[in-house]
Amino acid sequence: MKEELLNVITAADTALVPDSIFELTHFVNGKWLVYDEEMALERISPATGKVVSRLSRGDEKVAKEAILAARQAFEDGRWSRLPGAKRAAILNQVADLIENKKEHFAIYETLETGKPITQARSEIDAAIDLWRFAASLARTLNGESHPNLDPDIFAFVIKEPVGVASIITPWNFPFLILSQKLPFALAAGCTAIVKPSELTSATAIMLGQLLTKANMPDGVVNIVLGLGGEVGHTLSAHSEVDVVSFTGSTNVGKLIVQASASTLKKTSLELGGKNPQVIMPDANLEEAADAIVFGTLFNAGQCCNSGSRLIVHQDIKEELLHRLGNLIRKVPIGNPLNSQTKVGAIISDEHSESIDACIRSLSQTNAKIFVGGRPLLLEGLTGRFYEPTIVVDVDPAMDVSRQEIFGPVLSVLTFETFDQAVQLANDTSYGLSAGIWSENVHTCLSFIRQVKAGTVWTNTWMDGFPELPFGGVKESGIGRELGKYGIEEFLELKTCQMRVGATREKWV
């Protein structure tokens, strides 16, 4: 693909650029700790190369201080014993405060991640909806009763908050993923310590600024900044933490399980994916092609739900590739501070190099680059961009077919029969999401039953709603977020049995 054939956008809305650098520090027990300039980490915008924010670098000491604050806040009941309606009122107030500041949130999401401003705005809107949905769950928590076990026994099961939750979030959807976790933990009655990615910490701190305005009690939510090895490990291993909720790579998820194993605490992990889209011969190719391009290029492919593996029937492969090539050339790529841009920057130099190394390694295989395949230099922008890339003639055993690249790269495989398509879809260590395109409802239902994935889409891709659970199987994770199941990760069951009739029969 030639650069001149791309729809490149370099201009920006300069009114969106802040006047000063945002200085971030830790929020512990309702107080902001002193900003430590000597220990500060700089966040440079991946799109412009300019410093966006500086954050205090936390350590084990700060992490432990936050954990103990959350423990005290949980044990004294200032949050856990509040009626659900009062917790819900505060969560709804937080949602209102975010809504009043949503453009401010979106701008910093764009500056720190390099994602398009229109996408960031949509994600903040979605996050607001999640806070309000979680508030509804706080009011509707219930258990179950068992009145028919025995004439003299009345039994019931109640749900109680687990306790202190460590919430560790990634850089690709900083505020959206935080909002998939924190309000659900709070709705359950848990207290929390939040550790955002050191690359994208601004919106977590902005949230902290709003919590006091919403009358959130001190110590209920604590925010610790810093590196995973220094802060994340402590938040995973500490004995006073009862549950860890983490989103990120599968490799780091395994390290968190190891760290948490000493206390056998609960873990909820949303990890990687190598998600297949199966295109049957009867598929609507116009609609499918648009969704495939979206699933590949959304967030520059830096998305666990990226539809990065295309499994297409050999009879329609050439026609579909022709459509995909034409569409990709139309997608606006470039400056994320332009409302026309749909594909922004790559998060870091290291990640850009990782993507490119994977593509360069294809020269040792029979796979071919159909379009793209190299870093993209844009006039007037010093940041990191990568060409939308399609790789064809892919063998299922190749890394490009099996490993999560986390970039704007689509691998194309072919099949002849439905059973072969299912086998290819399941031939991966991941199981986050999958999709199929067919006009035959029986084909779609058969695929739903046979594919190993936490979410399955038919004739669409990456739709999502707060009411529906999200999570994966195999090495894509443990547990679920969102829906009524999202709050269950932060609850424990307690069985209660009461003798209400005659005294029990004597044993001795």
Q: Which two tokens stand for residue 304?
A: 């666990």
Catalytic status, residue 358: no
For residue 215, give the 3-state DSSP assignment: coil
Q: Looking up tokens 């796979």, which residue turns up?
A: 367
Which residue in the list 109, 198, 303, 304 is annotated as catalytic? 304
Q: Which residues contact 318 (CB under 8 A, 6 or more apart)?
A: none
Structure tokens at 100: 């009043």
**Between the CA atoms of 178, 481, 255 and 262, what dihedral angle is there, to the nearest 10 degrees?**
110
Please tell me whether residue 443 adopts helix, strand or coil conformation: helix
Listed in order, strand segments (DSSP E) in 141-214 are: 144-150, 153-161, 164-168, 191-195
β-pairing, 389-392 vs 368-371, is antiparallel
Specify the amino acid at residue 383: G
H or E, element range at 285: helix 285-297
Distance in angstroms (rounded) separating the CA atoms of residues 179 and 196: 12
Q: How far is Cα of residue 435 from the mean position of the Cα atoms in its chain?
A: 19
- Sheet order of strands, 433-437 included: 368-371, 389-392, 409-415, 309-313, 276-279, 433-437, 455-458
270 labelled catalytic: yes
From the centroid of its chain, how far is CA 377? Answer: 28
**Per DSSP, what are the bridge partners of residue 244?**
166, 267
The span from the CA of 411 to the CA of 359, in Å, is 11
**What residue type is 259 in one-letter code?**
A
H or E segment to which residue 117 belongs: helix 117-140
Active-site option among 109, 123, 270, 481: 270
Q: Which residues are catalytic?
A: 270, 304
